[in-house]
Structure 1
Amino acid sequence: MARTQEAERAGIKRRATIVNVALDLFAAHGYDATSLASVARAAGISQPGLLHHFHSKEVLLVAVLDERDQRALTAVDIDRAYDTTPVERALEVADAMVAWNAQHRELVRLGHLGAAHNPPLANAWARERTARFRAQLAGVIANDIAAGIVRPSADPGQVSSWVLAGIAGLESQWLIDEDFDMVASMCAFTQMLRRDLLVVS
């Protein structure tokens, strides 16, 4: 039993090493230009050893995209307590996410890979992620409408789609033009949403 648990811990640690190495390589050189052999070498294991944990490059990419998201969510302190309304906190997180992304250009480019690239698993990851984030934000808005915080005329689904579109669209412009200030643009956008959505008491 102890050996089994030790092997499981070692496996989890090895998987984490592979994912972190792959994230760095994918971000630095691009997904297409990075081979599994190069990831294995950088992780200090054989390619068959890597394939034991991730049976294809696509499966590894999905794990890397999850890790990219986790780093971003950790950086913006997603779970911390707040003293504003839930919808205001959600918009604050959106602003913070864009600000963090502005410091991690290659990770942003990597994050857009799932939506724009060919790997079916990565595309499925992007669809699931978008649907999940949209549903979570729509739920926050719907709850704040019920609580009298957000105007009843607001459509939770539309508003959540606008926020996601704002983040993705501003990132796309910034990836094309590094001088574009997506952080200021996002803050202006969310401030406009606050004025439009919140009930003034």
Structure 2
Amino acid sequence: MLATGQTEISTLSAEIFADRLGELADLLHACVAAGASISFVQPFGIGDSETFWRRKVQPGLADGSRVLFVARHEGLLAGSVQLNLDTPPNQPHRAEVNKLIVHPDCRRLGIARSLMLALEEEARARGRSLITLDTRTGDKAEPLYTALGYRTAGIIPGFSRDVASDRLDATTIMYKQI
């Protein structure tokens, strides 16, 4: 567990996942409603959010291929990020960052940075030397990743649909050797 000021970063185990599902669903729902480009489009209800956590995250927590980091700020669930360790046999040295999210009311407090630093520490502890991620080109997270030492591998135009319109956004593929 890592504490920074009034923010505490920890991992959420498969055993207590169900007890936190409501909080996780609320967090994701709030981020998508605020325009976060994290694979979802409007309309996006709380049920959609719960389904994502149950179907896409919980199985990986259960089989050990995913680590879920959560940030609590002043006791409230303020953010999360996932370390995806489910890589092909020829890439046991690599891991992926999935869904870095911070509640809209808790942004600009260093939470995303703290989550990423915890993720990197865990990746190192698990013998991973390369971390990859993608982010909407020009998004608020892109400068954070750059400041943390991530490098741009390339940009793919028209990669994903905007959360609230039919516009297609580019994505930036980034990596960091740790």
TM-score > 0.5 by shorter chain = no
- 1 or 2, which has the higher helix percentage? 1
TM class by shorter chain equals 0.3 to 0.5
Which TM-score applies when normalising by structure 2? 0.34
Which TM-score applies when normalising by structure 1? 0.31
| Higher alpha-carbon Rg | 1
